[in-house]
Amino acid sequence: MTQHVPVLLARVLELLEPAVARPAAVLVDATVGLGGHADALLSAHPGLTLIGLDRDPEALARSGERLARHGDRVHLVHAVYDELADVLTRLGLSGTNSVDGVLMDLGVSSMQLDLTERGFAYAQDAPLDMRMDPTAELTAAEVLNTYSAADLARVLRDYGEERFARRIADAVVAARAQEPFAYSGRLVRLLYDAVPAASRRTGGHPAKRTFQALRIEVNGELEALRRALPAALAALRVGGRIVVESYQSLEDRLVKRAFAELAKSRTPPGLPVELPGHGPQLRLLTRGAEQADEQETEHNPRAASVRLRAAERILEAA
């Protein structure tokens, strides 16, 4: 397995430092993965307690080994990030105004990409699985073999922003009538045939958008993120900070909207003064979405698509 390199680590540490350097600070790493960001944060702040969530039991086991040296300052929980409020309650914290920092490093993890049998990477022939939590039921193979052409096209269009969604869906339905899909290699070959040559020359690998769409559908990623963002923002106490790293435009758009909604005043237009309790709840810490520089991208290819946004709570959540 390739070495796990946390994306934009220095910038994440810089953005969270003012919030998590407080005595007895609590940080939620909502996607702890292999624990790279978490380890660095715990090492930098000896008084920090970390609550790490992940839906992947193998990732939790590996991060548990990595973070063991930090002792009882670490609480790891098998959960999806939209369960954040329930996790905090189970640990004796309130779902609102109770933590100093939240970190979300979204998308598929380096470990999941590296494990061929998980089926996330289209460069290798592997079972069409794509479950971030192997205990979940729905797999990519089931989506391909059971969804109607219309539903397949919707998934590819909405989650992969695939221009040839219906064309690919029709090809999948025709092919599965001969033999159900089981391995990624066959799907990749179908995509090469279904996507026009001109688009293949200019639009990147023809499987990229389809694999993204299937992965999002299998794991319910966007719906989970829609639920998780309000919970994460509500959990922050005043002065608390949230950092979110997204790796595709659909995720980044959701983060941008969630931050923008709380960063604006709720005082009706035209009033000469801000109504008490109606001012902005968040202060944006980044101008738009920040990207990795060329040096980091060269060192860590996963950083090429990252979009980082951060905000600080400046008014207590209702």
CA distance 76 to 49: 11
Instruction: Copy the structure tokens of residue 58.
Output: 């193998």
54 is in an annotated binding site: yes
105 is in an annotated binding site: yes
CA distance 255 to 220: 16
Alpha-helical (H) ranges within the chain are: 9-20, 36-44, 57-67, 84-90, 110-114, 140-146, 149-160, 165-178, 184-194, 197-202, 208-219, 221-235, 249-262, 294-299
82 is in an annotated binding site: no
CA distance 28 to 85: 11
Strand partners, 246: 307
112 is in an annotated binding site: yes
240 is in an annotated binding site: no
| Residue of 68, 70, 31, 29 lying closest to 51 (CA atoms) | 29
Which positions make up the binding site? Answer: 35-37, 54, 81, 105, 112
What are the binding residues for S-adenosyl-L-methionine?
A: 35-37, 54, 81, 105, 112
